[in-house]
Structure 1
Amino acid sequence: MDVALTPIAVQPNLLNPPAKTDAAELAKRGKIRETAQNFESSFLSIMIQQMFEGVKTSAPFGGGPGEDMFKSFMAEAMAKQMTRAGGVGLTDTVNREMLKLQGLK
């Protein structure tokens, strides 16, 4: 059975670490998961910013020197929310690969 094609709930060690783990390993797994989520959020933010690239808003609700800055804030907030809601699947893939690199599988 190919791990990459099985549902998340069936894949070993992605959501539930092995029973014999100490506090340091659990903390390391949590930090790796957080890093993977931050990576997915950054990726989505860049994708969303590209989506907004050609969008111009007419006055009185748009334009001005602050519009581009606030678009980037909005893109970042949208990306973080998308990641919290499950994202596009990068978090689990990056998390799995980072765990392998750390020898935690």
Structure 2
Amino acid sequence: MQTSLQPVPDRQDPLRKAAQQLEATFLAEMLKSAGLGESRESFGGGSGEDQFSTFLVRAQAEQMAQAGGIGLAESLYNSMKEAQND
């Protein structure tokens, strides 16, 4: 059985990092729109929960993007790489 080896993406590439950050920002906005991080009506954490919920949503979005996300980072990376080569 033959398998084709694909190059391992360079995680230190500034363009790849920028693409992942853009995807994380997009995912954070989508998670907020879906209601993640909103205060619960009963037994909520009060004002502290409201203040720090954005940090939780952002951290979750960053983890999602690092784990592969929705493919947006890869598309952005490829577009930025093409623009850089032009």
> After TM superposition, which residue ranges in structure 1, 4 or more long, deviate above 4 angstroms?
none
The reply on whether 1:43 has 2:26 as its aligned counterpart is: yes
1:77 aligned partner: 59
Residue segments in structure 1 that go unaligned for 5+ positions in a row = 1-8, 18-25
Alpha-carbon offset, residue 102 of structure 1: 0.4
Between stretches 89-98 and 44-53, larger displacement belongs to: 44-53
The CA RMSD over aligned residues, in Å, is 2.8
Change (3 A) 1:54 1:31: closer
Q: Given the two structures, how large is their TM-score scaled by the length of structure 1?
A: 0.63
User: Which range is displaced more, 30-39 or 45-54?
Assistant: 45-54
How many residues are aligned here? 80
Query: Is contact 2:28–2:61 with CA below 8 Å preserved after alignment?
Result: yes
Q: Give the residue type in structure 2 aligned to 1:97.
A: S
Distance, in Å, in 2 between the alignment partners of 1:54 and 1:90 is 23
Identity within the alignment, %: 36
The Cα of 1:54 is off from its aligned counterpart by 8.9
Residue aligning to 2:49: 67
